[in-house]
């Protein structure tokens, strides 16, 4: 392990971290602006050109808000929970390839922080750890609505994780690898969205449910649960939950791009630009969904996950397995 | 050198978390420290070139099973429960099992240890050691029978869970 490798890794970590921290305010601005126009409003437009600095201003405001910890709360867990949410979201991004190799001062630099041979399992593992942030936040508040929101969300996330994992397994069967970088490398001639369209549909539905976004945002359904698990959180702790939600959206989108949409591949433009274009389209899709669909009822949500998505993903896996077996032994 | 530092880090944190699992009064805190133990162990698996096992450890144990544990601990109010053993009896059992474990370790050390002199350097790993492909190959060739028996066992457990959940408590 030489010094150059350490410096290279540190620089890559800083770039990704900075990108997420600067990207989240932009996404929030985009969300408010797009939803505004979809609802025939203007959206933020006062702070900075086109209201671009509005979310930065909101962030600064949250910094200076009073940080309230309820008297009956479990202090340590209450502080730990939002941090846990953010950490798990960021750690998942370490294995995402966001470009091809580049050469800096005679060194070949791979544009991903690390390429482990179990990358997909790593991402699934960290997202399953993300449940803790929410369920502990709900429990530590020691208050009824947060607890209900936390329990709802853990049940929801565990249910949808299953179908999400299985939908990715069908792509793993085709490529024979768990590494995201080699999955992207194998999509030179065809994006995997073409042979694995159903796997993609299942994956993205589960991804939206995993990130607790509309129309699956039951854990924070304001009409029944106030604000769900983050009711008692204020100031920067609330901001951390906010950050984690948007970072998780980035993770789900980045994995979808790498596995189904050829990762950084694309004609003419540099690979990193293609990756960013695809990422923005995915995030726009998230916002579009939120502006379009009403929230599901809780029993509908669970029934949809267990009785529709899970059998569908298993069926897709079986068909893929048969086709792969026939191709290998004609 | 790096490996030694990381090993000390992971083993130290595993032991500290394990102590906390036992000594914490609040059951939710105990469960959280158990998650810490599992994560430390996962780090050790990576040091042993078993990345697949490490990822599975996080995904299944820390991510899925412990969440369900936490769920149960949070919903049942464990504090009101009557302990199964009196404190004295519990201590007796503890010392009894600790003694058995100690004798076992002593037995292994006495029968196998110390005779060969200087320790040998570890043998080089075969290519692909610990990779998902290699583990899959071994599971479906050498260990096919135990693998299939385990799958049937799990199937029985799943059916059992469904039967229990469907029962009417009227």
Q: Write the pLDDT tens digit of every residue in B29-60.
A: 888 899 999 999 998 888 888 888 888 888 88
Per-residue model confidence (pLDDT) at position B82? 62
Interface mutation vs chain B, best among A125, A131, A157, A175, most B CBs within 10 Å: A125
Measured distance CA(B31)–CA(A13) in Å, rounded: 31
Residues from chain B contacting residue A136 (CB–CB below 8 Å): 32, 70
Least confident of A47-51, A247-251, B121-125: B121-125
Please compute the mean of the pLDDT values over residues A283-308 and round it to a whole number: 85
Per-residue model confidence (pLDDT) at position A103? 73
The answer on pLDDT for B159 being more than 90 is yes
Please compute the mean of the pLDDT values over residues A180-208 and round it to a whole number: 85
Residues from chain A contacting residue B52 (CB–CB below 8 Å): 117-118, 121
Whether the CB of B31 is below 8 Å from some CB of chain A: the reply is no
Per-residue model confidence (pLDDT) at position B118? 59
Backbone dihedral angles phi then psi of residue A80, each to the nearest 5 degrees: -70, -40
For every residue of chain B, DSSP letters joined together read -HHHHHHHHHHHHHHHHHHHHHH-SSHHHHHHHHHHHHHHHHHHHHHTT-HHHHHHIIIIIIIIIHHHHHHHHHHS-GGGPPPSS-HHHHHHHHHHHHHHHHHHHHHHHHHHSSSS-SPPPPPPPPTTTT-HHHHHHHHHTTTHHHHHHHHHHHHHHHHHHHHHHH----
Residues from chain B contacting residue A6 (CB–CB below 8 Å): none
Measured distance CA(B25)–CA(A38) in Å, rounded: 52
**HEC states along A228-253?**
HHHCCCCHHHHHHHHHHHHHHHHHHH
Whether the CB of A87 is below 8 Å from some CB of chain B: the reply is no
Closest residue in A to B67 (Cα) is A132
Verify whether the Cβ–Cβ distance B71 to A178 is below 8 Å: no
The pTM (predicted TM-score) of the whole model is 0.82
Interface mutation vs chain B, best among A5, A95, A114, A117, most B CBs within 10 Å: A117
Closest residue in B to A165 (Cα) is B59
Per-residue model confidence (pLDDT) at position A270? 79
Per-residue model confidence (pLDDT) at position A315? 92
Measured distance CA(A295)–CA(A105) in Å, rounded: 52
Please compute the mean of the pLDDT values over residues B56-68 and round it to a whole number: 85
Interface mutation vs chain A, best among B63, B74, B125, most A CBs within 10 Å: B63
**How many other C-beta atoms lie within 10 A of the C-beta of residue A55?**
22
Closest residue in A to B51 (Cα) is A118
Whether the CB of B131 is below 8 Å from some CB of chain A: the reply is yes
Whether the CB of B52 is below 8 Å from some CB of chain A: the reply is yes
Structure tokens at A47: 């702070």
Residues from chain A contacting residue B32 (CB–CB below 8 Å): 77, 136
Verify whether the Cβ–Cβ distance A139 to B28 is below 8 Å: yes
The answer to whether the beta carbons of residues A136 and A129 sit under 8 Å apart is no
Of A125, A147, A154, which is closest to B67 when you measure between CB atoms?
Answer: A154
Give me the interface pTM, i.e. the ipTM: 0.80
The answer on pLDDT for B66 being more than 60 is yes
Residues from chain B contacting residue A176 (CB–CB below 8 Å): 133
The answer on pLDDT for A217 being more than 80 is no
Higher pLDDT, B168 or A173: A173
The answer on pLDDT for A119 being more than 80 is yes
Residue B13 CB-density burial (10 A; 0-12 exposed, 13-18 middle, 19+ buried) = middle
Determine the distance in angstroms separating the CA of B45 from the nearest CA of chain A, rounded to an integer. Answer: 13
Confidence of residue A296 (pLDDT cuts 50, 70, 90): confident
Per-residue model confidence (pLDDT) at position B113? 63
Most confident of A201-205, A272-276, B105-109, B151-155: B151-155
Verify whether the Cβ–Cβ distance A1 to B2 is below 8 Å: yes
Partners of A5 in the beta sheet?
none
Please compute the mean of the pLDDT values over residues B70-92 and round it to a whole number: 72
Verify whether the Cβ–Cβ distance B51 to A117 is below 8 Å: yes
Measured distance CA(A181)–CA(A172) in Å, rounded: 12
The answer to whether the beta carbons of residues A279 and A26 sit under 8 Å apart is no
Per-residue model confidence (pLDDT) at position B121? 67
Please compute the mean of the pLDDT values over residues B89-99 and round it to a whole number: 88
The answer on pLDDT for B170 being more than 60 is no
Least confident of A95-99, A309-313, B44-48: A95-99
Per-residue model confidence (pLDDT) at position A177? 81
The answer on pLDDT for B117 being more than 60 is no
Question: Which residues, numbered 149 to 188 in chain A, qualify as contacts with chain B under a Cβ-Cβ cut-off of 8 Å?
Answer: 151, 154, 158, 161, 176, 178
Confidence of residue B79 (pLDDT cuts 50, 70, 90): low
Please compute the mean of the pLDDT values over residues A240-245 and round it to a whole number: 86
Chain mean pLDDT for chain A? 84
CB within 8 A of A192, min separation 6: which ones? A171, A174, A175, A183, A200, A259, A260, A262
Structure tokens at B28: 């939710």
- Count residue pairs from A and B with Cβ separation < 8 A: 65
CB within 8 A of A133, min separation 6: which ones? A81, A82, A83, A84, A85, A86, A88, A241, A244
Verify whether the Cβ–Cβ distance A122 to B55 is below 8 Å: yes
Helix-strand-coil percent breakdown of chain A, rounded to 5? 70, 0, 25
The answer on pLDDT for A130 being more than 90 is no
The answer to whether the beta carbons of residues A160 and B77 sit under 8 Å apart is no
The answer to whether the beta carbons of residues B45 and B37 sit under 8 Å apart is no
Per-residue model confidence (pLDDT) at position B83? 64
Please compute the mean of the pLDDT values over residues A51-79 and round it to a whole number: 83
């Amino acid at each position: 392990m030489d010094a150059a490798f350490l410096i290279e890794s540190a620089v890559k970590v800083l770039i990704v971290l900075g990108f997420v921290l600067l990207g989240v305010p932009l996404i929030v601005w985009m969300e408010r602006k797009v939803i505004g126009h979809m609802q025939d409003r203007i959206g933020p437009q006062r702070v900075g050109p086109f209201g671009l600095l509005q979310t930065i201003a909101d962030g600064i405001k949250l910094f200076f808000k009073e940080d309230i910890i309820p008297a009956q709360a479990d202090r340590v867990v209450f502080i730990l929970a939002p941090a846990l949410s953010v950490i798990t979201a960021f750690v998942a991004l370490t294995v995402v390839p966001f470009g091809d190799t580049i050469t800096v001062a005679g060194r070949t630099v791979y544009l991903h922080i690390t390429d482990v041979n179990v990358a997909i399992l790593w991402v699934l593992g960290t997202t399953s750890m993300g449940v803790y942030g929410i369920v502990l936040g709900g429990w530590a508040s020691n208050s009824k609505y947060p607890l209900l929101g936390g329990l709802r969300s853990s049940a929801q996330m565990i249910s949808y994780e299953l179908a999400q994992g299985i939908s990715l397994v069908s792509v793993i069967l085709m490529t024979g690898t768990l590494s995201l970088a080699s999955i992207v490398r194998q999509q030179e001639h065809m994006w995997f969205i073409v042979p694995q369209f159903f796997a993609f549909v299942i994956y993205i539905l589960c991804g939206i449910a995993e990130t607790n976004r509309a129309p699956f945002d039951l854990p924070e359904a304001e009409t029944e649960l106030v604000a769900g698990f983050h009711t008692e959180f204020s100031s920067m702790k609330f901001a951390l939950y906010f950050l984690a939600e948007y970072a998780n959206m980035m993770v789900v989108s980045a994995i979808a791009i790498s596995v189904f949409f050829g990762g950084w591949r694309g004609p003419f433009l540099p690979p990193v630009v293609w990756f960013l274009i695809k990422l923005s389209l995915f995030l726009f899709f998230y916002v579009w969904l939120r502006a379009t669909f009403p929230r599901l009822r809780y029993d509908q949500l669970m029934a949809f996950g267990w009785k529709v998505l899970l059998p569908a993903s298993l069926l897709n896996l079986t068909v893929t397995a048969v086709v792969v077996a026939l191709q290998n032994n004609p | 050198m790096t490996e030694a530092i990381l090993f000390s880090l992971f083993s130290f944190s595993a032991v500290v978390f394990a102590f906390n699992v036992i000594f914490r009064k609040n059951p939710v805190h105990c469960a959280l420290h158990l998650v810490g133990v599992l994560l430390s162990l996962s780090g050790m698996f990576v040091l042993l070139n078993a990345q697949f096992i490490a990822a599975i450890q996080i995904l299944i144990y820390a991510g899925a099973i412990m969440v369900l544990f936490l769920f149960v601990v949070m919903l049942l109010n464990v504090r009101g429960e009557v302990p199964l053993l009196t404190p004295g009896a519990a201590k007796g059992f503890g010392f009894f099992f600790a003694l058995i474990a100690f004798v076992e370790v002593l037995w292994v050390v006495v029968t196998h240890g110390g005779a060969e002199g200087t320790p040998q350097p570890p043998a080089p790993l075969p290519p692909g050691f610990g990779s998902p492909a290699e583990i899959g190959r071994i599971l479906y060739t050498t260990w096919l029978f135990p693998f299939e028996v385990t799958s049937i066992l799990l199937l029985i457990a799943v059916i059992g869970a469904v039967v229990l959940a469907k029962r009417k408590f009227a």
